[in-house]
Amino acid sequence: WSQSRRGGRAHEWTQHGGVGWTYFHKGGERQHYRPVKMTETKVYTMEECKKHNTIDDCWLVMFDKVYNVTPFMDDHPGGSEIMLDVTGRDSTEDFEDVVHSSTARKQLEEFYIGDLHEDDKAKLKSSGGAFATTSSGAAKPSGGQSPIMTMIKALLPFLIIALAFYYNKSKSA
């Protein structure tokens, strides 16, 4: 138990068999009971997380934590495909790159199911979090794409605009 002062009154807190807490006003009268789910945090390996990679069963690993985002697949503003593309590896960088709002960050907490195993955390830290392994064990960039594909995707919109400009210019001449 512990004592605290709230509004000038002393309170004692008592735990009830791992179920919740009750506090008592000085004098022993019961003031409040609030059940609290008190469970041990589950720990998952990256191998276990890799198995959950479909639209009907999707887990993401971010910030050394595991999230079951399956219920959110249909509601994600960027579509379910974006989340499916980052399963089976640390997707923290992908999440941060998009600059999610504080609301999205709070919403993420709803899907928290456990922590990443310490061995997997150590592997991510030793690789700088920049690489994950494919099913064959080969390293791949955490973005999941080669630098050439990333460059093509970045330049493609400019190429399309340039072609449209020259097409319109040649039509008017």
Digit-by-digit pLDDT tens for the chain (173 residues) are 344 444 444 444 444 444 444 444 445 554 444 444 546 789 999 999 999 999 999 999 999 999 999 999 988 988 888 899 999 999 999 888 888 888 888 999 999 999 999 999 999 888 775 444 433 333 344 445 566 767 777 788 888 998 888 888 888 76
Instruction: Tell me the pairing of strands 112-116 and 43-44.
Output: parallel
CA distance linking residue 117 with residue 45, whole number of Å? 5
DSSP H helical segments within 40-101, as ranges? Answer: 46-50, 80-85, 92-97
How far is C-alpha 71 from the geometric centre of its chain's CA atoms?
Answer: 14
Structure-token match 């456990």, residue found: 114
pLDDT score at 97? 87
Question: What pLDDT, on the 0 to 100 scale, is given for residue 65?
Answer: 95
